Amino acid sequence: MPATPAVAASSTWRDDEGIRLPSGDVHAWWPGQNQTLCGVPLSRARLARFPHVLWIDAQWLDDTADTPVMELCRRCTAATRPKKKRSPRFAARRPG
C-alpha cells in the first residue's frame, strides 16, 4: 500500500496532455477500498477514482490557478494528517 492515499472526485477534467485529473469535491481514498477516508461510499456518491493521482498531489493541484475548482474534503484532510499534528478534541481541565 502506498504511503499516501489516492483521490476520488465528483468530476473530472483533462489537462493539455490529455491526462484525466480530479475536480469538484475531492476525497482521499485507499485503492482497493469501497469508501473514502471520511466514510463516503464511492459508488453511492458517484465518485470517480483516480488511482494515478495521490492525495498529496491533489493538495498541490488545489493551489494552482490554472486548474478547475477543487474542494478538498476537510474530514479526509484531517484523516491524512499525522496523529502528532492533530489537536486534541478535549482539553483536560483540573477542577478548582
Burial class (CB in 10 A: 0-12, 13-18, 19+), 17: exposed
Q: Digits of tens for pLDDT over the chain (96 positions)?
A: 567 899 999 999 888 899 898 988 999 999 999 999 999 999 999 999 999 999 988 877 655 656 677 889 999 988 888 776 556 665 555 565
Could you tell me if residue 20 is inside a domain? yes
Measured on CA atoms in the order 51, 2, 32, 40, is the torsion positive or negative? negative
Q: Which structural domain range is residue 25 located in?
A: 6-82
Number of domains the chain contains: 1
